């Protein structure tokens, strides 16, 4: 699962946030809502036409579009 992003994570899968580019206002807000490097995230749902996606992070459910999710690099949660 190298170089994958949250936008590609299949529904029902877990992953760990690997990296997020800095200095983007929309990503800063996602960080403030709990998505920071090292956080475990899970995609819980995808809207019928592909977006938005719903994710679960720190017990809260958020939805976002692929555009934002594609900035969030993830790694496998196995063994984490």
Partner 1 sequence: MSTSAPDTPLIAIVGNPNSGKTTLFNLLTGLKQKVANYPGVTVEKKIGECYSQHGKKLRLIDLPGAYSLNARSPDEAVLRDVLLGRRPETPRPDRVVCVIDSANLERNLYMVSQVLELGLPTILVLNMIDVAAQREWHIDAKRLSEELGVPVVQTNAVTGAGLIELKLTLSREDLAAPQWENAALPEGVRAALEHSRDELRQTGAIHTRSSLLEPLYLLSDHDPTHYGIADSQMARIHELRGRMEADFPGWEDALVAERYRRIEELCAKVLKRPDQEIETITTKLDRILLHPVLGFVNLLLVLGLLFFLIFKVAEGPMGWIETGFGALGSWVEGLMSPGDFRDLIVNGVVPGVGGVVIFLPQILILFFFIGIMEDTGYMSRLAFIMDWAMSKVGLNGKSFLPFLSSYACAIPGVMAARTIDSPKDRLITILIAPLASCSARLPVYSLLIGVLFPAGRVSAWVQAGIMLGLYALGTFGAFFFAWVFNKCVMKGSASPMILEMPAYKMPAIRSILLHVWQRARMFLVRAGTIILGISILIWAASTYPKTQGDTSAQQMEHSFAGRAGKFIEPAIAPLGYDWKIGIGLIGSFAAREVFNSTMGVVYAVESEDDDNLAPLRDKLAGERRPGGGLVYTPLVCISLLVFYVFAMQCVSTVAIVRRETGSWKWALFQLGYMTGTAYLLSLLIFQIGSALGF
Q: Which residues bind partner 1 (CB under 8 A)?
A: 20, 22-23, 25-34, 36-37, 39, 45, 47-52, 54, 56-65, 67-68
CB of residue 37 vs partner 1: minimum separation in angstroms?
7
Cβ proximity to partner 1: between 16 and 52 the closer is 52
First to last CA, the chain: 14
φ, ψ of residue 65 to 5 degrees: the values are: -95, 165
State the minimum distance, in angstroms, from the CB of residue 11 to partner 1.
Answer: 12
């Amino acid at each position: 699962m190298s170089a994958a992003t949250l936008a590609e994570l299949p529904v029902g899968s877990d992953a760990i946030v690997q990296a997020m580019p800095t200095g983007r206002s929309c990503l800063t807000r996602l960080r403030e809502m709990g998505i920071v490097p090292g956080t475990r995230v899970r995609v819980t749902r995808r809207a019928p036409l592909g977006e938005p996606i719903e994710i679960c992070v720190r017990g809260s459910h958020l939805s976002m579009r692929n555009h934002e999710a594609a900035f969030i690099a993830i790694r496998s949660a196995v063994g984490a």
